[in-house]
Amino acid sequence: MRVRLSSLNLLSTWLWLPLTFAMWPFPPKRFKGNALLGAGSLGLDTDGRVVALGDFNGDQFLDMVSVGSDQQTLTIHLWDHERFIYRTSTVLKHNQLIVNVVPGDFTQSGRLDLLVMSQSPSSNGQLDLSLYRAADGGGLETTPISLPPSSESQPIPFDSTGDLRIDLLGISPSPHDQESFSVWKNVWNASQPNSIVYELTRTTMEGLQCKPSNPHSHAVVDLDGDCLADVILICDDGNTGGKVFQIWINQKDSGFKLQQSGKLPAGTQSISFADVDRDGTIDMVFATCSSVSRSTGLGNDCYVNIAYNKQLPLCASTTSPRFRNDRRICRAPEELCIGDPNFTFDLSEGPGNNAFVRVSIEELVPTPGGSTPQLLVLDTTYDPPLPVPLKIGDLNLDGFVDIVPIIATQPPGGRSKLAKTPKILGSVACRKGVAGCGPDGKGRRGWSVLGRDNNILEEFLDARGVVLVDIDEDGTLDILVQRTGEQGQGNVMFVQNNFYYDAFFLKAIVLNGGCPSGWCSTANGSRFHPFGVSYSGATYKYTVLDTTGKRAAAAVAQLPQTAYQSLLTPYSFIGLGRTNNYIENFFVGSTKHHDEHFINMEGVVPNSKVVIVPPADDSQRTEWRKELYLRPGEWIPLVTLTVVIATVLLASIVLVLHLNEKREDERERRKVSHHINFDAL
Ligand SMILES: *[C@@H]1O[C@H](CO)[C@@H](O)[C@H](O)[C@H]1NC(C)=O
Ligand SMILES: *[C@@H]1O[C@H](CO)[C@@H](O)[C@H](O)[C@H]1NC(C)=O
Ligand SMILES: *[C@@H]1O[C@H](CO)[C@@H](O)[C@H](O)[C@H]1NC(C)=O
């Protein structure tokens, strides 16, 4: 009987195969080829540049804000998923030269407003701040609210009071405030007709003596590992002309406390923050150059530096001891959000310190012909010049972040102009001969240029900036290249990451607590979801098991930087690598001042987007709302169909056999009873 069943099953498969091909339900693929592919400008035609990212219409697709070459015209480009292009939506002309744009829900209305920082014409060294509020019917209101101005060193959004509203931290322009920080406290009250947005207050940061650099790389990011965002400030060192950093630990209602400060290496450029070695702590990544040309923005003799955060590691196994002599020595997977007050960054050079790694650009990007590569660190085509940070993102979904610098080289054809080309430095495991690893092949992560062939990035010779975004939210990190236009191919070009990766991703966004029910309503009663309103300061920490069964923890920050057009996505894109399991523990930290400012979500499904809404009110008992949006694979309809058909077939076979057997039984029973009857005679 068993033999008959399996042969039937096989037969059914063979019968169905031709039918499956006949009714192929999918449209042809938009991008063909296993490579990085040019996708053109996707309708985002601007004579200027992209300056900010945000989901303005709450449809869970990322939109973009551009500024024209006049530095005054702001345009919002909404992503049209059906037509696969950006549609121009709102166009505004600001009355001053725009320096930076920060989208954010400054009024907790569930919609993105736009904070515009512009050069003040009235006096030197002042930034005027204007807020374009979201209009009720979509788009922005045309007259901005003017806010208290700032000094030229741009203020950063952060949450000073634990209510998830966007406050600002910066320097007020009045002369006697030059060295002490102020907080723009968000006091917006929607029920007042002409409410003010910001009230300027002194910081609670006691003893903060620091002249912030301009440009700076301040960030709102969790550095001590308690899933609560801290503040790191980058300041000028008056004595040496170098730079220093100050790390202020968030102590909730007790304010911020200066925990650590130190000198940055000479020639430090912009700093980016990411967990480079996947140990569950946020590290610093920055370039240092011995000199930078003011006219071209190119740095000479540059290095990529990684300062690893030294703190409590993840316990080697779930059973290993967490304490030794009453001191905690590691974090168990289910207690990732325990802070380590003894965390440090050790920026000293020397063989004894494996937590600070420097690799020269020459070693990272070997150039044919022996010309020395330079690193683009300043975009001088904007006024004032913009810092160009090293962009960080997991482009190959292996769970480790890659670095995307723009490298300038002398092209071999004898062209006089330098070619400025984005390169992808892929993070690879350390072994002998890999850049970034020790001579013995030891080290945390090494770097190797990804996609040497099949790489359209090599065709860009006029890059001035790179943005890592996921076009159409399809689950791979794509690249937007901002160009000077010297090549005559426009200012903005998208590159689709079409490599096939046998690995998973996760997107996560923590909303700002506006519209706690999950629905916002407008004046006329129509309702919408507040999906676009992320904020700076959320933190994610998670553990995954790789296919060899090894557990790793990783930390990711949401929107840590927004100044100087840093162009980070409002959500966090997380590469998970190859895993054969759910994400065991996914910790989401907010900046609420509750005892439990974080939650632990267990068993999160990879290849999905999680939207988390912390409670808006202060009662501790209110639930966090969590929503998970699965990205259905394109095979799901077919798999479902096959499963249904197979089930029906098997069921009918079982039924037939069952009936047969019953008939047989009946016959046997009758025979037996016949027998008995016969005997009885
Ligand atoms: C409310 O206003 C929005 C935008 O102005 C419009 O799209 C919607 O149809 C209106 N709804 C009702 C019920 O009038
Ligand atoms: C907002 O304004 C209303 C009306 O003026 C007032 O009653 C309310 O207390 C204010 N809310 C806050 C939080 O200040
Ligand atoms: C931090 O370091 C101090 C001094 O070495 C030690 O007493 C303390 O227990 C440490 N704290 C933790 C959490 O390890």
For residues 19 and 241, the model is more confident at 241
195 lines ligand 2 (CB under 6 A): no
**Distance (Å, rounded) from C-alpha 630 to C-alpha 608?**
4
Which atom of ligand 1 is closest in space to residue 525's alpha carbon? 13
Q: For 313-363, write each residue's pLDDT tens digit.
A: 999 888 888 888 889 999 999 999 999 999 999 999 988 898 999 999 999
Span 549-559, average pLDDT: 93
- 3-class state of residue 436 by DSSP: coil
d(CA 611, CA 471): 19
| Among the bound ligands, the one closest to the CA of 199 | 2
Give percent above pLDDT 70 in the chain. 91
Please tell me the predicted confidence (pLDDT) of residue 414.
65
CA–CA distance, 673 with 681 (Å, rounded to integer): 12
Which one, of 444, 242, 283, 431, lies nearest residue 354 by Cα?
Answer: 444
Q: Probe ligand 2: pick from 163, 189, 195, 618, max atoms within 8 Å of CB?
A: 189
Alpha carbon distance 437, 427 (integer Å): 11
Closest residue by Cα to atom 10, ligand 3, is: 342
**Mean pLDDT across 286-304:** 95
> Which tens digit of pLDDT belongs to each residue from 135-176?
987 889 999 999 999 999 999 999 999 999 999 999 888 766
What contacts 455, CB < 8 A, 6 or more positions away?
Answer: 35, 36
pLDDT at 370 over 90: no
Residue ID of nearest Cα to ligand 3 atom 4: 342
Distance in Å, CA 229 to ligand 2 centroid = 29
The response to whether residue 192 sits with its C-beta less than 6 Å from ligand 2 reads yes
Q: Which residue has the tokens 């920060």?
A: 102
Residues listed for the chain: 681
- Count the Cβ atoms, other than its own, within 10 Å of residue 391: 24
Cβ of residue 294 lying under 6 Å from some atom of ligand 3: no
Q: How far is the CA of 224 from the centre of ligand 3 (A)?
A: 13
Is any ligand 3 atom within 6 A of the Cβ of residue 324?
no
Higher pLDDT pick, 205 / 262: 262
Short-list 188, 183, 186, CA closest to 170: 183
Instruction: Report CA(281)–ligand 3 centroid distance (Å).
Output: 18
Binned at pLDDT 50, 70 and 90, residue 678 comes out as: low
168 CB-side CA count, 13 A: 28
**Does the pLDDT at position 291 exceed 50?**
yes
Highest-pLDDT range among 222-231, 239-248, 360-369? 222-231
Q: Examine residue 384 and say whether the peptide bond preceding it is cis (omega within 30 degrees of 0).
A: yes
Helix (H, G, I), strand (E, B) or coil at 659: helix
Q: Give the distance (Å) from ligand 3 centre to CA of residue 179.
A: 33
- What are φ and ψ of residue 21, in 5° steps? -70, -30
CA–centroid distance, 342 to ligand 3, in Å, is: 6
**137 CB near ligand 1 (under 6 Å):** yes
| Residues 112/134, Cβ–Cβ less than 8 Å | yes
At 9 the pLDDT is 42
The tens digit of pLDDT for each residue in 437-472 reads: 988 889 999 999 987 666 889 899 999 999 999 999
What is the predicted pLDDT for the residue at 17? Answer: 44
- HEC profile of 261-289: EEECCCCEEEEEEECCCCCCCCEEEEEEC
Closest to 480 in 3D by CA, of 561, 534, 422: 422
- Nearest residue (by CA) to ligand 1, atom 11, is 526
Ligand approaching nearest to the C-alpha of 57: 1
Confidence of residue 14 (pLDDT cuts 50, 70, 90): very low
In this structure, of 29-33, 134-138, 347-351, 493-497, the range with the lowest mean pLDDT score is 29-33
The answer for residues whose C-beta is within 8 angstroms of residue 472's C-beta and 6 or more apart is: 61, 79, 81, 84
Ligand 3 pocket test target in 259, 324, 342, 343 with most atoms within 8 Å of CB: 342
Question: Cα–Cα distance between 168 and 155 in angstroms, integer?
Answer: 6
Pocket test for ligand 3, best of 226, 259, 326, 327 (most atoms within 8 A of CB): 327
The one-letter amino acid code at 92 reads L
CA distances from 148 to 165, 168, 173, 514 (A): 17, 11, 10, 24
Collapsed DSSP state (helix, strand, coil) of residue 428: strand
